Amino acid sequence: MRGLAERFGRLTSTGLVLAVLVVAIVLGAILTATEGRNFFSLGNVSAILVATSVLGFVAIGQTLVILTGSIDLSVSYVVSLTTVLAATTMDGSSGNVVPAVLLVLAVAAAIGFVNGAVVSFLHVHGFIATLGMGLIISGYLAVNYAGPTGDAPRSFALIGATRIGPVPLPVLIMLGCALLMILMLRRTRVGHQVYAVGGNPQVARLSGVRTSVPVITAHVLCSMLTALAGLLLVARTQVGNPTAGTQGQYDLMSIAAVVLGGTLLAGGKGNITGTLAGVAIFAVMDNVMAALQTDPFLRDAIRGAVIVAAVAVYARREIDRRPARFERPGVLDAALQEAK
């Protein structure tokens, strides 16, 4: 038992969340079997993968922003805005698909740039800056759209229905974006600056880093990845929905997946692999609770308990690994303090 605890303590945050994912899959298979269902059936695995795709896009972007020490609460409204813009621009014509996609990505990039610029140059915390942006978008949607609108052509809807083997195409696109972001964080100067600014912006600035560049880049990429999530929703439903983002609670769920994946909310530490594992854990939990027909209130309570437990475990591990200079002073140190 002690050996198991020591191995548990040596795991990195990413290794820990991957271990939790394995445990969640095993428990899910057992609980689903009690209902006479096969957790590993092709249809069920495909449903779990599809569930990870939309939240996965948003959570990857949220990870970039949180690594810089900021946060993005406008993602839910960006999802809603991109669905209505895409569906109304396509208007049932395959020839409008490319212009609609380019328009949506351009609008999302502009929103991300404004968010990043307000955080960097006006020194407004991301919580307030993106909340304000979200309210502006919410007001625009409420005034101009009363319900589902637009019409995506069948050629675009095929993106949401196509599978390569057992894996849905949207999942492969999401994993491709995740790989690009991982390479960006590990191999590029901007990626290294994202960690530096999130760890300590003053030290980064004194080291010659232009702190506005990684912050704005992270917000722009976050909004564009969120726009891809919106496009995926349009491919599934073939209409734009002005409340699609808020109904999915993508703001809170993406932050929860990032935290569950081991990324510090204060920034500077974390990775996208852990976030994807966090998204997968939520997808498995939701799938199992749906199979068990769990009460919606109990589902939210279980989600909340998992998030709180994850943060508590990560906080405990950080305290245990604190350098010796922060430990309780010894007898000699205490005597010297009294002598002063």
d(C-alpha 108, C-alpha 46), whole Å? 29
Q: Is residue 339 part of a domain?
A: no
**108-124 average pLDDT score:** 96
Average pLDDT of the chain is 87
Within-domain flag for 223: yes
Q: Is residue 37 part of a domain?
A: no
Count of domains forming the chain: 1
Domain annotation covers residue 15:
no
Give a yes or no: residue 16 inside a domain. Answer: no
Q: Under a CB-based contact definition with an 8 Å cutoff, are residues 221 and 61 in contact?
A: yes
What is the domain extent for residue 218? 49-317
pLDDT tens digits for 280-337? 999 999 889 888 888 888 888 888 888 788 777 777 766 666 555 444 444 445 444 5
Is 25 among the domain residues? no
Residue 1 — very low, low, confident or very high, per pLDDT cuts 50/70/90?
A: low
Asked if residue 335 belongs to a domain, the reply is no
Average pLDDT over residues 253-270: 89
Length of the chain: 340
Q: What is the CATH number of the domain that holds 220?
A: 1.10.3470
What CA–CA distance (Å, rounded) separates 98 from 289? 39
CB-facing half-sphere around the CA of 331: CA atoms within 13 A:
0
What b/e readout covers 171-194, taking b as 16+ CB neighbours within 10 angstroms? bbbbbebbeebbebbeeeeebbbb
Residue 142 tokens, joined: 């409420």
| N-term to C-term CA, the chain | 46
Nearest to 194 by CA among 108, 274, 263: 263
> How much is the average pLDDT of 28-50?
86
Residue 273 has pLDDT above 50, yes or no: yes
Tens digits of per-residue pLDDT, 320-336?
665 554 444 444 454 44
Phi-psi region of 91 (alpha: psi -120 to 50; beta: other; left: phi over 0): left
Residue 33 included in any domain: no
Phi, psi of 240 (to 5 degrees): -95, 140
Q: Quick check: pTM over 0.85? A: yes
